[in-house]
Amino acid sequence: MSLYIPHWLDKQAELTPNEIAIEQPTGETITFRKLQSSSQAYARKLASLGIQAGDHLAILSGNKPEMVMAVHAISYLGAVAVLLNTRLTASEIAFQLEDAEVVGLLCDDDTESLAIDASEGRSFTPVTFSKLERTTQRAVDLKEEINLTDVFTIMYTSGTTGFPKGVIHTYENHWWSASASSLNLGLHKSDKWLASLPLFHVGGFSIALKSVIYGMPMYLLPRFDVHVAHDAIMHQGVTIISVVTVMVDQLLAKLELDGNITYPDTFRCMLLGGGPAPKSLLEKAKDLSVPIFQTYGLTETSSQIATLSPKDALEKLGSAGKALMPAQLKIVQNGTEASPGEAGEIFVKGPMVSSGYYKREPKNDAWLATGDVGYEDEEGFLYVLDRRKDLIVSGGENIYPAEIEGVLLSMEGVIEAGVIGKSDPKWGQVPVAFVVTENHVTEGALKEYCLSRLAKYKVPTVFYFVDALPRNASNKLLRYKLQEQLYEQN
């Protein structure tokens, strides 16, 4: 069943044409009317390049207004935006271009070289935003309405096997994600949301959509900078910021360095995601009167699906709150719903949950089995214990050991490889590898090999050379045994 609404950018440009949509630390601003006209111009330029409804168009870009315009332009054409992680290697991106069946690739000037390398052998040449600006517009009918059931974006996430999978998001998924967040936090006329998380990740992307749906300015940073973020909260009217643990740590350190000053009363909260946060960090934030609301979400849930509400922020420190309206959440242990306090796998359900992965079998159940472990207390508040079995969360980035192991095993001289996470005071966790080798393979050679095939944050920080890896009777790697060995090594 189709459900149509006016194009959300058109509607916001009609309601609040002169209000700010995007603000940057340089002082430059873009109104909703300007964002609308620029995005529509981009759409007509893309049409002249042959992009049409249903096409999959990839975007490889840092946090720039042009990226936001490109995403809206794609929606005006009825095409699908495939968002690519700029931290990946050319070979990793090439896989996603092939898997998503893209017909073209947009990039910024900074990523042009990477885009060209990733597109080698394909039927298209990457187009930079600067080149797109010079492209002649083509007269074409733009979408005036959004069919909420249409696919809008594809974002890649690693599955439990380590192979990237394209998460399908409809307009409805994104709409309900934004709506659910506002029903929890409320909307204030003075709200301004700082976006320093990458827009190619669902956490950053959701802010760009909230901006248009709420009619709220987005304070856009190219990347996280503690001094710029601090100034934005103190002096630029930012009321909400989405963060991961390493960002919180730096912001709290900045407050302490400045003499334990406090944020303005207008600052509403830091929404903390990217994995469970250390209790000591949350206690420090409480002592400094910094409102931190922990959230829980996945790419598959179009950003947060559970968040601690303002009224419970201090009483339920460490909890990710309850499932947002209209989502549902349950904990399953051994096939049955767990009792309060019992840990199990987290299952979620709701209109913000993706229907599945591109070119994979769709979900056969309304409930999504997240693979994450947690429990609910007597009052139904969620506590997340681990970010999926074997998952390593480093600075908010998800790292799957199997992907790294696959790269190591492809290197000549490596017989076995096992990867686990090691606690790190800055990043939360970093990957380390246990390897069985022959022919005098060196740690330097292993690191160089990985750097040529993996994003830098996925490369193990330490390689331990062992005679054999611990396995069970079915020859499955026993990662907990590696954790024991790691403990002994340190």
Are 356 and 416 within one domain?
A: no
Could you tell me the CATH number of the domain that includes residue 475?
A: 3.30.300.30
Would you say residue 87 lies in a domain? yes
pLDDT value, residue 472: 62
Would you say residue 158 lies in a domain? no
Could you tell me the CATH number of the domain that includes residue 101?
A: 3.40.50.12780
pLDDT one-digit tens code per residue, 291-300? 999 999 999 9
Would you say residue 460 lies in a domain? yes
Are 382 and 418 within one domain?
A: no
Are 249 and 372 within one domain?
A: yes
pLDDT one-digit tens code per residue, 144-182? 999 999 999 999 986 444 578 999 999 999 999 999 999
pLDDT value, residue 400: 80
Would you say residue 165 lies in a domain? no
pLDDT one-digit tens code per residue, 290-331? 999 999 999 999 999 999 987 888 889 889 999 999 999 999
Are 431 and 376 within one domain?
A: no
Would you say residue 156 lies in a domain? no
Would you say residue 252 lies in a domain? yes
pLDDT value, residue 158: 61
Are 191 and 314 within one domain?
A: yes
Domain final position from 323, 354, 386: 386
Are 134 and 246 within one domain?
A: no
Residues in the chain predicted with pLDDT less than 50, given as ranges, are: 159-161, 473-474
Are 202 and 270 within one domain?
A: yes
Would you say residue 161 lies in a domain? no
Are 179 and 139 within one domain?
A: no
pLDDT value, residue 263: 97
Are 420 and 310 within one domain?
A: no
Would you say residue 167 lies in a domain? no
Domain count, the chain: 3
pLDDT value, residue 334: 87
Are 228 and 330 within one domain?
A: yes
Domain final position from 386, 402, 423: 386
Are 401 and 353 within one domain?
A: no
Are 366 and 413 within one domain?
A: no
Query: How far apart are alpha carbons 100 and 53 in whole angstroms?
Result: 15
User: 441: domain range?
Assistant: 392-489
